[in-house]
Amino acid sequence: MTTTATLNEAVEQVKEQVIAWRRYLHQHPELSFHEEKTAQFIYDTLLSFGNMEVSRPTKTSVMARLIGSRAGRVIAMRADIDALPITEENTFPFASQNPGVMHACGHDGHTAMLLGAAKILSGMKERIKGEVRFLFQHAEEIYPGGAEEMVQAGVMEGVDLVIGSHLWAPLEYGKVGIVPGPMMAAPDTFWITVIGKGGHAALPHQTVDSIAIGAQVVTNLQHIVSRNTDPLDNLVISVTQFIAGTTHNVIPGSVKMWGTVRTFDPKLRAEVPKLMERVVKGITEAHGASYEFKYEYGYRPVINDADVTRLMEEVVVEALGPEWVAHIRPNMGGEDFSAFQQKAPGCFFYIGAGNKDKGIVHPHHHPRFTIDEEALEVGVKMFVNAARKVVMAGHS
């Protein structure tokens, strides 16, 4: 019989190895769709465990299948492996050795935790009734993302449920964040060009001032949030780039804007581009300008399945203790884990990785981002104990 205590003891034995894997990966980050060496490292490491079928569903992703001795349910576990185009400012010995590339979101830790779970579970093949499928996904950070490619490659065929985690700096180490239902938003992108008529800044009446018109567009887009949608709906519209002009005495002929929209509700998501273009069209026409508008749908929202989320909360209580459960609010970030949830019910959860006492306070995507490595042990415990509940015969 495989107990929680047995698995937690096994996690203790691999803890230092998991930290070492995380540090190696942190030193050698690779950008989305370019994770060749990372994927090869994962592939070779998984092969060294034995008892698993290891494959490469896409050029820079890896899948390992641990098939038990008897038929049963199939649980998939996912970790993302890509890094970000950020120059690291940390000075610890294992800081990035690749200039301009950094694991600034915790994916190195995600990969190490899942490798730790695979190492432990690979030695328990005879106790497994069903299958544990380990998915090491490339390109989470860049749309269209690696999850959709992996799904199209067939990695979710036959899967009964899927889980994934994110090391979360805003959550203090010692907690596991559980969010039932909508958890992370759909992250869409828009581009707007306001086309006016340039000229001398001292003679504005001879121009169609694209900056003045563009500023009105930015301001009035917020009326969609405050006046055109239900206050109880979750909606964010953010203009994040505003590019115009070359010098102090020239009114530019055009302004380019770039930004993001975040939603949970599919109907609202479909309606927002229409409302946005109506605003842009009205303002530009009123001032004798024209416009170009482009809108691109990104990842689907992450919606946690009620039953799988309940199961993962039980895992926290059984493996760690009830005091480790943190019921937290959804956020408007995006995650392509949602692609896997289109094929099987799933749960995405947070693992607290911040620690103010250690100075681990910087947010994700910051050049000084890091994690409390004690959180890695928590993640491994979550994965192996989820497997215990789902596919281990006679678990207790």
pLDDT of 395: 47
Give yes or no for residue 396 having a pLDDT over 60.
Answer: no
Q: pLDDT per residue over 163-192, tens digit each?
A: 999 999 999 998 999 999 999 999 999 999
pLDDT of 2: 86
Compute the average pLDDT of residues 266-295: 98
pLDDT of 238: 98
pLDDT of 259: 98
Q: To which H or E segment does residue 307 belong?
A: helix 306-319
pLDDT of 185: 98
* Annotation says 80 is catalytic: no
Catalytic residue selected from 30, 80, 82, 148: 82
* Annotation says 140 is catalytic: yes
Catalytic residue selected from 30, 131, 140, 149: 140
pLDDT of 203: 98
CATH number corresponding to 186-296: 3.30.70.360
DSSP state for residue 330 in the 8-state scheme: -
Helix 374-391 × helix 107-122 angle, to 10°? 50
Give yes or no for residue 1 having a pLDDT over 80.
Answer: no
User: For domain 4-185+301-391, is the CATH number 3.40.630.10?
Assistant: yes
User: Among residues 345, 182, 189, which one has the least CA distance to residue 266?
Assistant: 182
Q: pLDDT per residue over 331-377, tens digit each?
A: 999 999 999 999 999 999 999 999 999 999 999 999 999 999 999 99
Instruction: Calculate what percentage of the chain has a pLDDT beyond 70.
Output: 99
pLDDT of 174: 86
Please state, rounded to an integer, the average pLDDT across all residues of the chain.
97
For 74-78, 105-109, 141-145, 389-393, which range has the lowest pLDDT when averaged over its residues?
Answer: 389-393
Cα torsion at 388, 392, 394, 395 (round to 10°)?
0
Q: pLDDT per residue over 107-131, tens digit each?
A: 999 999 999 999 999 999 999 999 9
- What are the structural domain ranges in the chain? 4-185+301-391, 186-296
Between the two ends of the chain, the Cα-to-Cα distance in Å is 7
In the structure, what pLDDT confidence band is assigned to residue 394 with cuts at 50, 70 and 90? low
Across the chain, the runs of DSSP E, i.e. the strands, are 53-55, 62-67, 70-80, 129-137, 161-172, 176-178, 181-184, 186-195, 199-200, 235-243, 250-251, 254-263, 290-296, 302-304, 325-327, 346-354
Compute the average pLDDT of residues 227-231: 95
In the structure, what pLDDT confidence band is assigned to residue 52 with cuts at 50, 70 and 90? very high
User: Among residues 388, 301, 360, 379, which one has the least CA distance to residue 107?
Assistant: 379
- Those residues whose C-beta lies under 8 Å from the C-beta of residue 224, and which sit 6 or more positions away, are 235, 237, 272, 275, 276, 279
pLDDT of 393: 60
Beta strand 176-178 with 346-354: parallel, antiparallel or unpaired?
antiparallel
Structure tokens at 187: 């992250």
DSSP state for residue 239 in the 8-state scheme: E
Q: pLDDT per residue over 96-108, tens digit each?
A: 999 999 999 999 9
Structure tokens at 373: 């490595």
Compute the average pLDDT of residues 195-211: 98
Q: pLDDT per residue over 306-320, tens digit each?
A: 999 999 999 999 999
Q: pLDDT per residue over 28-44, tens digit each?
A: 999 999 999 999 999 99
